[in-house]
Amino acid sequence: MAAAVRGTRSGAATRRRDFLAALAFMAPALGFVGVLLLYPVAYNIYISFTAWSRFVGYNRLVGFANYLHALNDPNFSAAAQNTVVWVLASLVLPVTLGLALAVVLRGVRGEESLKTVFFLPRLIAPTAIGAIWYYVYAGNGVINTVLRSVGLGGLVRSWLYEPATITPAIIVTYVWQTTGLVMVLVLIGLAALPREPIEAAHVEGASPWQVYRYVILPMLFPTLLVVTIISVIAGFTTFDLVWVMGRDYPDPSTLTLAIHQYWESFRANHWAYGAAVAVILGGIALLITWLQVVLQHRYERTLQ
Amino acid sequence: MSEVAEFNLAAATQAPVPGARRRRGGHVMILAAVLGLAWIVPFYYAVVTVFKSTSDYASGGPLSLPHAIAPIIGNVVAAWQQTQMGTGMANSLGYGVFGAGAAVFFAAMAAYALARIVFPGRPAWFMLIFSGTIFPFQIYLIPLFQMYARVGLFNTRFGLLLAYIAICIPFPTLVLKNYMAEIPRELDEAARIDGGTHPRIFASIILPNCIGPLVALFLLQFTWIWNDLIFSMVLTQDTSRRSVMNTLMVFQGNYAGSTPNLVITAAVLASLPTVLVFLVLRRYFMQGLSLSTAR
């Protein structure tokens, strides 16, 4: 009896000691994340409802005024439209191209070296990539030189200075940089697929295309979903590449919402408005992540 | 988020490909080769440009071969001096080593608590730390700038380092928590019966079993910090404190001194360390993977 009582008491004491130990072990991580990431998120949301601006620092609460200002700001609309282009392009291009490359390159001669070539851009910082591609698109740069030499001189233009071409041009660079990563992720997904259904389909006489379309692609859905979400969120929050390649553009504030946010906050010093744009960007990111969770659940339910 | 992806890279290079090596039709090969060629042109352009003097670059086409090898020396010296890249590299080396080191260590501590200690509400505590990955960086910029300005951390190396540590903690916490959960219970239960404390179990049993992922995560976070542009732009002001990519960005935007050959030389110089790190990283990824598959 006494032993049992002592046992439970020391059990409770152990649990208490374990909990304190766990807290102590988590303390640095919780401290850094809490003070430098989570508190700033809350603080940023608060600022977005004030009339705070740098140097003035006047923090009067103004409700949704900054969000309404965003809706009426032509630069915000232009940046939002370009951001939609970014979302759509990064939804479709890297994933389609990466999937095609993964499927085509598997098993061909020189597979390893070709894979390395496509992955190589991923190893270099976006800032350095932007600096190189800035000159690829320059007046006497690579693209215009190639166009002239193949007799398409009429297409020569200042790619990074014209409203119609700057966003597509930077997206091409983004696709060049990210497709290799998508390809590698798809290859991981392909390698993890069970082999029996694929072999069964081959035995039943399905053509290679039919096997891909009706057997491999459906099984690859979870991989493609994750890859797509990664690529979309990375795409529409891209800063380095757009800033380095596009800041000479006459109105860089219109390039994307991420650039708009930086420009308004740290060039125009409109903190409260910049904070509101950041909240909008965060909202879109959360929405996309939520969509991924929903789609994944639905997929898992159809499997059962 | 792409960190998760890159962590899996070694798996792709190692995983067995189902199905034997097949022969492809000629047209598929040609298509892949043409696409590969298009992919390599920017690299080719960067490499030939590094060997061209400013007048060489202006006189020939951007894709023409350089006349000599020697101009690379002048380019490297000029790019190095004009960008003050030595300062940027030294700063980023410090940010990367101490930032990634501290972040991965703190993440390992948190992961130990979450994976090896039984206490109520563990999923919620984990989500609290992991929620640091779900917001775009833009949401941190203004508050960090403002907080730093108020407490005197703005434009200090220490302040920028603290921000890097915070950003680099959540993802390694996820990876290490999953990894540590796989380590057999018997290992530390024996130690606990002998009266071993948590710090001792952590340091002498759990950490030595996580060397592979610890090194891989360190190199991964080091690369991220080295490549960072925006936090250095927002949280520092003086050239003497900028990250290497920030010095490159400033140089690229400075019309007076920077010609294409010099900017591209600077871009190549700034990228070389992380490319080298990746070569090391691959090996450690494989080591970490073979460790996890062996169990």
Condensed to tens digits (0 to 9), the pLDDT of residues A192-228 reads 888 888 888 888 888 888 888 888 888 888 888 888 8
Nearest by CB to A29, from B143, B173, B274: name it.
Answer: B173
Statement: residue B289 has pLDDT above 90: no
Q: What was the pLDDT predicted at A85?
A: 94
Q: What is the mean pLDDT of residues B210-217?
A: 88
3-state secondary structure at position A64: coil
> Where exactly are the structural domains of chain B?
24-69, 85-294
Statement: residue A166 has pLDDT above 80: yes
Per CB-CB distance under 8 Å, the chain A contacts of B11 are 188, 191
Least-confidence region, from A6-10, A125-129, A220-224, A247-251: A6-10
Interface with A, mutate which of B41, B57, B122, B135 (most A CBs under 10 A): B135
**Cβ contact A128–B270 (<8 Å):** yes
Statement: residue A4 has pLDDT above 60: no
Could you give the residue ranges of the DSSP H alpha helices within chain B?
Answer: 2-7, 9-14, 26-50, 54-59, 71-83, 85-116, 122-130, 138-151, 157-168, 170-181, 185-193, 198-201, 211-227, 230-235, 244-252, 260-294
Condensed to tens digits (0 to 9), the pLDDT of residues A90-104 reads 889 999 999 988 888
> Where exactly are the structural domains of chain A?
1-40, 65-303
Q: How far apart are the first and last CA of chain B?
A: 28
Condensed to tens digits (0 to 9), the pLDDT of residues B174-213 reads 989 988 998 998 888 888 778 788 999 999 999 999 988 8
Q: What span, in angstroms and rounded, lies between the C-alpha atoms of A281 and A256? A: 11
A residues 172..201 contacting B (CB < 8 A): 176, 181, 184-185, 187-188, 190-193, 195, 198
Per CB-CB distance under 8 Å, the chain A contacts of B22 are 107-108
**Cβ contact B106–A29 (<8 Å):** yes
Q: What is the mean pLDDT of residues B76-99?
A: 94
Q: What span, in angstroms and rounded, lies between the C-alpha atoms of A170 and A241? A: 7
**Cβ contact A44–B142 (<8 Å):** yes
Structure confidence at residue B257 as a pLDDT band (50, 70, 90): low
Statement: residue B293 has pLDDT above 70: no
Nearest by CB to A142, from B63, B230, B234: name it.
Answer: B63
Condensed to tens digits (0 to 9), the pLDDT of residues A228-244 reads 888 888 888 899 999 99
Average pLDDT, chain B: 85
Measured from the Cβ of residue B271, the count of other Cβ atoms closer than 10 Å reads 24
Q: Which CATH superfamily is domain A65-303 in?
A: MetI-like (1.10.3720.10)
Average pLDDT, chain A: 89
Nearest by CB to A125, from B22, B138, B227: name it.
Answer: B227
ipTM: 0.89
Chain A residue closest to B25 (CA)? A108
CB pairs under 8 A between A and B: 299
Chain B residue closest to A133 (CA)? B42
Q: What was the pLDDT predicted at A14?
A: 83
Distance of CA B288 to the CA centre of its chain: 17
Statement: residue B6 has pLDDT above 50: no
CATH fold label, B85-294: MetI-like fold (1.10.3720)
Chain B residue closest to A239 (CA)? B230
Condensed to tens digits (0 to 9), the pLDDT of residues A244-276 reads 999 888 889 999 999 999 999 999 999 999 999
Q: What is the DSSP string of B203-258?
A: IIIIGGGGHHHHHHHHHHHHHHHHH--HHHHHH--SGGG--HHHHHHHHHT-TTT-
**Cβ contact B32–A108 (<8 Å):** yes
Q: What was the pLDDT predicted at B285?
A: 54
Statement: residue A41 has pLDDT above 60: yes
Tokens found for residue B46 = 């960067």
**Cβ contact B15–A124 (<8 Å):** no
Structure confidence at residue B276 as a pLDDT band (50, 70, 90): confident
- % of residues, chain A, pLDDT over 90: 50
Least-confidence region, from A150-164, B59-73, B171-185: B59-73
Statement: residue A283 has pLDDT above 90: yes
Per CB-CB distance under 8 Å, the chain A contacts of B162 are 32, 36
Distance of CA B38 to the CA centre of its chain: 26
Residue in A99, A114, A105, A97 with CA at minimum distance from that of residue A186? A99
Q: What span, in angstroms and rounded, lies between the C-alpha atoms of B286 and B295? A: 14
**Cβ contact A21–B36 (<8 Å):** no
Per CB-CB distance under 8 Å, the chain B contacts of A240 are 227, 229-230, 245
